[in-house]
Amino acid sequence: MNDLRPEQDTREAQRVGARPPPRTPTPLWRRALWLIVIVLVFAGVVWWVHMRPAPQSPAGRFGAGAPMPVVAATAQKGDINVLLNGLGTVTPLATVIVRTQISGQLMRVAFKEGQMVKEGDLLAEIDSRPYEQQRANAQGQLARDQALLANARLDLQRYKILVAQDSIPKQQLDTQDSLVHQLEGTVISDQSQVDTAKLNIAYCYILAPVSGRVGLRQVDAGNYVQANDANGLVVLTQLQPISVVFTLPEDTVPAVMKQLNAGATLQAIAYDRSQTTKLAAGTLATVDNQIDTTTGTLKLKAQFDNTDNSLFPNQFVNIQLRVETLHDETVLPTAAVQRGAPGTYVYLIKPDDTVTVQAIKLGPGEGERVSVSSGLSVGDRVVVDGADKLREGAKIALRQPTGTSTATPTSTEPGSAVGPQQRAQPGQPRGPRANGRAGAGGTSQ
């Protein structure tokens, strides 16, 4: 026991020696230094906040209260076409699969693929020699039976005389009369055989049933063709005139039917897929007899002369149907129309060069023009460019439209008005549209 005691004392001394020494307290001068640094940083932030320049006014480079430059247009009186747009497919008036009506060897193909042919032109020729032999045989049989009929008729006349003289029994006369009728029927049958043979010979020469363009030939010369061939010889498509079948929403049907019932001729214009190129102009031919309940649309058919072959079968086109023309309407550029909480409105320019929000009711539109049913009068000036920066009562100054080379008066006297930009003539460049608004330009009147 006494031997273990010194060992325990040694372990206790080592445990006590392993404890960390007590931390020395931070000097007071170091705490004061950190406090001074924090105060200086806070003071610098406060100074920067108070001394930085004030933010620029929303008026931007025009300055607070400066007039906003805008482009204006004058509401005018004009005509507006009521147009309906529909998607359509070019459909030929006739598509014919040309087939042979008799069997035989195809001797000759008389057309070139893609050729324009007229009605009655020769397309193909089939070997007619077997049918010519049939015709000769039928003609010989006909001649034989015609001779027998002539002889029977002479005998009938003789028997009538002999019966009148009571030289032969009347039964023999009746028998001869019946023979004459039998031979007459035989002659009619023989004549039918001759006509059938002639018709078969005519069928050997295949003619175009309609005028149009032939497609790719399905059979080459030398092949044996039959009337029941599924593909036929060639497909013939009529191109002039041609039709377009298109659809319109059911809500537009009453307006269209009103004009048709009144006997009006509605003009239809076909545009390409992008609606940028005019392809052809025609008229509305007819309408379907019921509305498609799955799509809520009505099918209509327009017909085009297609003299330049600009319309091709199964081509996808856009149809613009002119229903009617409204006269003496109040018209202004579509760029002037704004939409927001008041509905559709414009910024009306007052005589003191300020603007006010004027609610309007729109009518039909055409291109970059739209008619106004109520809310504006002819001669009222409205903003067409720069309206996104305006507020009720804002001061404005008229400016020249972007891209206009001629000087535009900027007078804001009541007697001076800025009208809508004239449509560029073909070959003349159009000016860029300010702020991405269509038809925002204007010229002075």
Least confident of 21-35, 166-180, 254-268, 284-298: 21-35
Domain termination residue (choose one: 182, 203, 224): 203
More confident residue, 141 or 419: 141
Asked whether residue 52 is domain-assigned, the answer is: no
162 with 74, same domain: the answer is no
pLDDT band at 65 (very low <50, low <70, confident <90, very high): low
422 with 364, same domain: the answer is yes
Asked whether residue 48 is domain-assigned, the answer is: no
Q: How many domains does the chain have?
A: 2
pLDDT band at 35 (very low <50, low <70, confident <90, very high): confident
Answer yes or no: is pLDDT of 60 > 90.
Answer: no
Does the pTM exceed 0.85?
no
73 with 175, same domain: the answer is no
Answer yes or no: is pLDDT of 58 > 60.
Answer: no
Asked whether residue 418 is domain-assigned, the answer is: yes
417 with 339, same domain: the answer is yes
User: H/E/C letters for each residue in the chain?
Assistant: CCCHHHHHHHHHHHHHHCCCCCCCCCCHHHHHHHHHHHHHHHHHHHHHHHHCCCCCCCCHHHCCCCCEEEEEEECEEEEEEEEEEEEEEEEECCEEEECCCCCEEEEEECCCCCCEECCCCEEEEECCHHHHHHHHHHHHHHHHHHHHHHHHHHHHHHHHHHHHCCCCCHHHHHHHHHHHHHHHHHHHHHHHHHHHHHHHHHHCEEECCCCEEECCCCCCCCCEECCCCCCCCEEEECCCCEEEEEEEEHHHHHHHHHHHHCCCCCEEEEECCCCCCEEEEEEEEEECCCCECCCCEEEEEEEECCCCCCCCCCCEEEEEEEEEEEEEEEEEEHHHCEEECCEEEEEEECCCCEEEEEECEEEEEECCEEEEEECCCCCCEEEEECHHHCCCCCEEEECCCCCCCCCCCCCCCCCCCEEECCCCCCCCCCCCCHHHCCCCCEEEC
User: How much of the chain exceeds pLDDT 90, in percent?
Assistant: 55
In this predicted structure, what is the pLDDT of residue 445? 31
Domain termination residue (choose one: 152, 168, 203): 203
pLDDT band at 33 (very low <50, low <70, confident <90, very high): confident
Answer yes or no: is pLDDT of 254 > 50.
Answer: yes
74 with 147, same domain: the answer is no
Asked whether residue 411 is domain-assigned, the answer is: yes
Asked whether residue 214 is domain-assigned, the answer is: no
355 with 436, same domain: the answer is yes
In this predicted structure, what is the pLDDT of residue 9? 55
In this predicted structure, what is the pLDDT of residue 438? 36
More confident residue, 124 or 403: 124
Domain containing residue 166: CATH number: 1.10.287.470
342 with 415, same domain: the answer is yes
Domain containing residue 383: CATH number: 2.40.420.20
In this predicted structure, what is the pLDDT of residue 129? 94
The pLDDT of 139-167, averaged and rounded, is 92
338 with 397, same domain: the answer is yes
pLDDT band at 367 (very low <50, low <70, confident <90, very high): confident
- Residue pLDDT, tens place only, 269-299: 999 988 889 999 999 999 999 999 999 999 9
pLDDT band at 68 (very low <50, low <70, confident <90, very high): confident
350 with 427, same domain: the answer is yes
Answer yes or no: is pLDDT of 82 > 70.
Answer: yes
Asked whether residue 277 is domain-assigned, the answer is: no
Asked whether residue 235 is domain-assigned, the answer is: no
More confident residue, 413 or 287: 287
In this predicted structure, what is the pLDDT of residue 30? 72
Asked whether residue 286 is domain-assigned, the answer is: no
More confident residue, 25 or 412: 25
User: How much of the chain exceeds pLDDT 70, in percent?
Assistant: 80
72 with 148, same domain: the answer is no
- Residue pLDDT, tens place only, 341-357: 878 999 999 989 899 99
Domain termination residue (choose one: 203, 221, 248): 203
Tell me the residue range of the domain where 341 lies: 68-78+326-444
